[in-house]
Structure 1
Amino acid sequence: MMVRNKWLAGVLAISMAFPLLPNHADMAAANPTVAASPGAWSAGQTPPNLSPDKPVLLFVHGLTSQAKIWYEDNDMYQYAYNNGYQTAFINMYDITGTPEDMWKDGELLAAKIKEISQRYGGKKIVIIAHSKGGVDTQAALVRYNAYPYVSRVITLSTPHHGSELADLAYSSWAGWLADLVGSQSPGTSSLQTSYMQYFRSEMDKDPDVNKVPFYTMGGDKWSGSGKTSYTFGGAYLSVFGSNDGVVTTASAQLPGATLIRTGPWNHATVRTGSYTFDLFKSYIGTVTGAAASAAPAVSSSSRLTAAAVSTDVYRDSTVTGNVYGATPTSPQTDANTGTPGNPSNNASADAALPNGHLYVRGGQTNGTASEALTVEDGVQSITLDWISNKPLKELQIIAPDGKRQQVRVESAKDDDIFKGAYHQIARLDQPVAGNWQVRGVNDGSGAYLMTAVYASNTSNASLHTSLSSGTLDMKLETEGLRSEQTTAQYTVNYYDGEGKRIASPTTSQRSLIAGEMETSVPTPATGEPSSYVITTDISGVTAAGKPYKRTLIKSVYVDANGQTYSE
């Protein structure tokens, strides 16, 4: 008996010295219910450990999304609740199926920010915004004067400079597919890189732009995410830099804002509580009345990686259920967050492809569609994606010798830029030079878009544009091609300020002289803001005499004053 009493005493002593940490499941809160209408919002449950100096957290979703992404198959709400924060969740116009631009979303959000603050007795709000939600938030604060009710904003993979995937959706090759799946919405149009450059200029000249501090986070992990659309987006965007499958890390950084961290997250895990809440928690701050406390100082020019993340802030292995159904792994082996046991290991981050190049084709189909794929010398790999409005029966890849290639094909439905479309992705490693064939086999009519991303050590090409006197001037430059055997065909698609087609496309072909091509195309005399998406298809021959084909896509926006914006 004495031995047993000593054992119990020892257990009690240890328990007092090391109190058990609260289990997330012990403090589980019921999910809120948000009505399926624009501007509808719902408060989360009041946590038992609420502190009066903590602000209300308002969660704002991104393009084609809705409020429930924060609490269904996501523990972000639970993390906020367990940490003692009052919360609110809102639906934007995306809930209708037609995403709107940042101006319409921003005006709606501004009214609701005021309403939510009043609901909590005038308490300051901290906004946690994912993807386009961060752009909508800045419009609400700056253009629609919601800044007095907000102490700060934390954006998670927000495309502050737009996304090249939005440019792709408005290219000449994507038109048929985009029309069928509805991806050419005002919301998508407003995320084109050229329009976002215009938006940045509008924000930067507004005297209220710095009234509320912004803090940003972005991801650079897209492969191995368990989501095929991120594999497509990540490979496509790798031509432009590191990214999370939808947004590049460069675009996720807002001028004048504080960068909290760039880490090994995809576009979904960056908004998942067990991946990022503990990283941005200290930047939420506290409030007393209308005054907000200062957040930890971090250099806006810093770019911290997984090497700088302490092991105690990685995904909690006790959380069950991953965002897209993959089996959760332990913190020591989590493929999405790196290796906490070895903080210096940052191998999980996806680097940009060296000399990545694009080749794009698309159109209508009444069943089987076939596209040629030219492979020149020096190609290390090709990531191929056949995007269609319905799943394929089969994706056939045929080598130059006529033999079918046995390749692994990933298939999944998109719910981001090309929401409603289906991806079929394959990778060719060390493909032999020559003319390949790619066939999408299906029944019935439909549309498709084929993108091929090359990792190659051959040519580079770039397109420069300017607008003057109602004429769009374009200059194409190439390196590594025989100029006398190189031609470029360009197609310009014309849209109004909301992304609606306003004129028939202009198509022409030019030969390169000394590696350059200069041409001009007329612009519609609408007198209104408009955008031009230029799709340029290059056909040439490398220095080694091998055929070469690539596609350049460039977005140009012209405001009401005739000012041109383009990346």
Structure 2
Amino acid sequence: MLKKIAFLCLIVAVIAGANMTLFADSEDISDPQPAYDLDSKSISGKAGNGNDETPGEWYIGDTPPNLDPSKPILLFVPGLNNVAQVWWEDNDMYQTAYDAGFQTTFVQLHDAGGESADMWDNGELLAEKIVEISNHFGGKPITVVAYSKGGVDTQSALTYYDAHQYVDNVITLSSPHHGSQLADLAYSSWSSWLADLLGAQGDGTYSMQMAEMNAFRNQTDPQPLAYYNDYYTLGGTDWGSTFSSTWYGGMYLSQHGDNDGVVTVDSSRLPGGQELAIGDWNHTTVRTGDTFSVFENYISSSQLANNIQSSEQKNKTFPSNQWVHGSGLEQGKHEITIPIEENVKALTLNLLTSQQPNDMVLVDPTGKTHQTNFKSTKFQEGVFKGGISHATTIESPQSGEWTLKIHSGNDNAYLLLADFKAPEKYELNKHVNRHKSLELTYNLKSNTDQVNSQSLQTTYRITESGNPSQTLTYTQKGEANHSQHITLNQPNQVYNVTIDIEGKTKTGETFKRTIIESVKVPGTPYK
């Protein structure tokens, strides 16, 4: 008996010792602290996205007891509409880096002050802070870990604002190096009401339009300092939980390939960088300690052999199974008609509003209320920060006109995204010629096995991004195949192209689809 008791005591002691070791390896740390008196070093922010931190403020994390003096300082850079606190509030990235023996620092960019900024303004501010951080730590090299748009801001700081000499490597976590189609969506003709109420069209979102980032890539990649530093990239393929904020973006972006709910895998790849991993992360989890072990060995390393390829795209084929619609919602009751053709395997409806409606009811073509629950989620960050998503999926929906009835208690706005799992009705491609002007030719070919060609109507709305009053509209009717030629002449202007396609199937059911993209007229480079 005494031997058994002694053995049990030994087991308890071993377990207790193991637990003590476990907790010792992950020592609790305090929040990072501002590096200096804010009144003397910081700048004012603007109102807009709800943030009220101070742009230019930077923080120092606790010094780990196992600090390795040979390791570079880690500087964590936030993304679009983010504040520096995303790295340590409800996030173990700071703790993970501390446990690994790294000295950490964190910075607030212009977005932290209330309004998003483009890569030029954020890049200039970040470059100033990189110099300050380097001086504070006696000239030790810095490795930047940049989240989302922070990766683009970082490359701007290093390429154009002389910060390259203070930085060793750059790690980008799902950065939209080629832009985000969600930014194009925010500037579409259907989004203007909602974007106005949410403030979704700030300078940061503008700069993330696909056409604007294509111009940035074409201007930046050939620069002598563009890849002076080594860049390592990570991307994600998870959308998060069903009907979450990243799920909304994931569904929209799914027509463009694998994505993490905000950025596609293709966009996360940098032409002169090295891709470390494409993992099962969404746009929130990619910035957590889950990814630290993936890039830890690349925080300080030798020079890469960069193989830069142009991002210029002269021909493009568009996906075709989503419909987008939006408008203002005055106080009271409203109805949105949703046509559904035959042979739709599943329909996902995602209604984004600026405020929570009092009630929403979905009515089928027979007039009966469809028993479905909308899952509502408020977006805490991203392009549509502050918006509320209401989503539901209907399996094998009855064909005909459905009606979404909305009762809004206040002035409101909506953006409806309908995703159809159904046979494709047409093929649309584009050819581009760039001279002093931008010449676009869109070619549409309908699937005559599915579509009554004489019923087809295609509307092209070409709008100056950020200026909805400047819109050109072209309409094509009653042709199975057609070409629409558009010439744009205003240098450096980004345009949103919203294409609405409507027609009837062979059985007479109405279908609607929407395609959204951005284009930019050639002009003088910004820098």
Alpha-carbon distance change, 206 to 10 in structure 1, aligned in 2, over 3 angstroms: same
Residue matched to 2:212 = 195
Partner of residue 401, structure 1: 366
Asked if structure 2 preserves the Cα contact closer than 8 Å seen for 1:530 and 1:557, the reply is: yes
8 Å contact kept, 2:272–2:307: no
Report the RMSD for the aligned CA atoms in angstroms.
3.1
Residue among 407, 411, 414 paired with 1:445: 411
1:183-236 Cα shifts (integer Å, max 9, x gaps): 0011001001111111111111101122111111111111426x7221211111
Give CA-to-partner distance per residue, 1:391-415, whole Å, 9 cap, x none. 1122221111111111121112112
Gaps of 5+ in 1: 286-292, 302-353
Q: Which residue in the other structure is 2:286 paired with? A: 270
The question of 1:294 aligning with 2:302 is answered yes
Output the CA distance in 1 between the equivalents of 2:453 and 2:176. Answer: 36
- 1:22 matched residue in structure 2: 22
Displacement of 1:520:
2.8
The answer as to whether partners of 1:131 and 1:158 remain within 8 angstroms in 2 is: yes
> Does the 8 Å contact 2:219/2:525 carry over to 1?
no
- Distance in 2 separating the partners of 1:12 and 1:372: 67
| In the alignment, structure 1 residue 482 sits paired with structure 2 residue 445 | no
Deviations 1:321-374 (A, max 9, x none): xxxxxxxxxxxxxxxxxxxxxxxxxxxxxxxxx976211111112133322211
Q: After TM superposition, where is structure 1 displaced by more than 4 Å over at least 4 residues in a row?
A: 1-21, 295-301, 467-472
Deviation at 1:29, TM superposition (A): 0.9
Question: 1:102-501 alignment to 2 at 5 Å?
Answer: 102-224=119-241, 228-273=244-289, 275-285=290-300, 293-294=301-302, 357-366=321-330, 367-414=332-379, 415-464=381-430, 466=432, 470=437, 472-480=439-447, 481-495=451-465, 500-501=466-467
- Judge conservation of contact 2:75–2:104 (CA < 8 Å) in 1: yes
> Aligned with 1:235: secondary structure?
helix
8 Å Cα contact 1:258-1:300 kept in structure 2: no
User: Does the residue aligned with 1:552 lie in a helix, a strand or coil?
Assistant: strand
Mapped partners of 2:3, 2:308: distance in 1:
60
| Structure 2: runs of 5 or more not aligned | 39-52, 310-317
Cα distance in 2 for residues equivalent to 1:376 and 1:364: 26
Quickly say closer, same or farther: Cα 1:201–1:470, change in 2 above 3 A: closer
Select between 233-242 and 438-447 the one with higher mean Cα deviation.
Answer: 438-447
Deviations 1:50-72 (A, max 9, x none): 01111111000000110000001
Partner of 1:534: 497
How far is 1:530 from its partner? 0.8
Task: Verify the 8 A CA contact 1:24 1:78 in the aligned structure 2.
Answer: no
- Identify if the C-alpha distance between structure 1 residues 376 and 250 changes in structure 2 by more than 3 Å, giving closer, same or farther: same
1 CA distance for matches of 2:159 and 2:73?
A: 20
* C-alpha deviation, 1:145, in angstroms: 2.0
Asked whether the equivalents of residues 37 and 96 of structure 1 are also in contact (C-alpha less than 8 Å), the reply is: yes
In the alignment, the residues of structure 2 paired with residue 435 and residue 25 of structure 1 have an alpha-carbon distance, to the nearest angstrom, of 61
TM-score (norm 2): 0.87
**Partner amino acid, structure 1, of 2:351:** W
Give the alignment of 1:23-38 within 5 angstroms.
23=23, 26-34=26-34, 36-38=53-55
Corresponding residue number in structure 2 for 1:306: none
Contact 2:320 2:427 (8 Å CA) reproduced: no
* Aligned residue type for 1:233: G
- Residue 207 of structure 1 aligns to a residue whose secondary structure is coil
Q: Secondary structure of 1:199's partner?
A: helix
Q: Which residue in 1 is equivalent to 2:74?
A: 57
Q: Which amino acid aligns with 1:294?
A: S
Instruction: Tell me if 1:550 matches 2:517.
Output: no
- Residue 94 of structure 1 deviates from its aligned partner by 0.5
Q: Is the 8 A contact 1:180 1:389 kept in 2?
A: yes
Q: Per the alignment, do residues 476 and 371 of structure 1 end up closer, same or farther by CA in structure 2, a change over 3 Å counting? A: farther
Give the direction of change, closer, same or farther, for the CA distance of 1:477–1:149 in structure 2 (3 Å limit).
same
Task: Report the Cα distance in structure 1 between the residues aligned to 2:281 and 2:382, rounded to whole angstroms.
Answer: 16
| Contact 2:319/2:515 (8 A) holds in 1 | no
Shift of 1:419: 1.0
Corresponding residue for residue 509 of structure 1 = 475
The aligned counterpart of 1:348 is none
CA–CA separation in structure 2 for the residues paired with 1:152 and 1:123: 13
- The 8 Å contact of residues 398 and 404 in structure 1, kept in 2 or not, is answered as yes
Structure 2 match to 1:323: none
On the 8 A contact 2:373/2:392 being kept in 1, the answer is yes
Matched, 1:98 2:98: no
Segment drifting more, 78-87 vs 111-120: 111-120
Would the aligned equivalents of 2:488 and 2:521 in 1 still touch at CA under 8 Å? no
Distance 1:87 1:562 in 2: 35
Distance change (3 Å), C-alpha of 1:436 and 1:45: same
- Size of the aligned set, in residue pairs, is 495
Report SS of the residue matched to 2:267.
coil
- Taking a change above 3 Å as real, the CA distance of residues 435 and 502 of structure 1, as seen in their structure-2 partners, is closer
Instruction: Specify the code of the residue in structure 2 equivalent to 1:99.
Output: S
CA contact (8 A) 1:59 1:128 kept: yes
Comparing 484-493 with 182-191, which one deviates more in the overlay?
Answer: 484-493
What SS does the corresponding residue of 1:379 show, helix, strand or coil? coil
CA contact (8 A) 1:114 1:149 kept: yes
In structure 2, relative to structure 1, the CA distance for the partners of 1:72 and 1:541 (3 Å cut) is same
Q: Distance in 2 between matches of 1:389 and 1:7?
A: 64
Return the offset for 1:37: 1.3
Aligned identity (percent) is 37
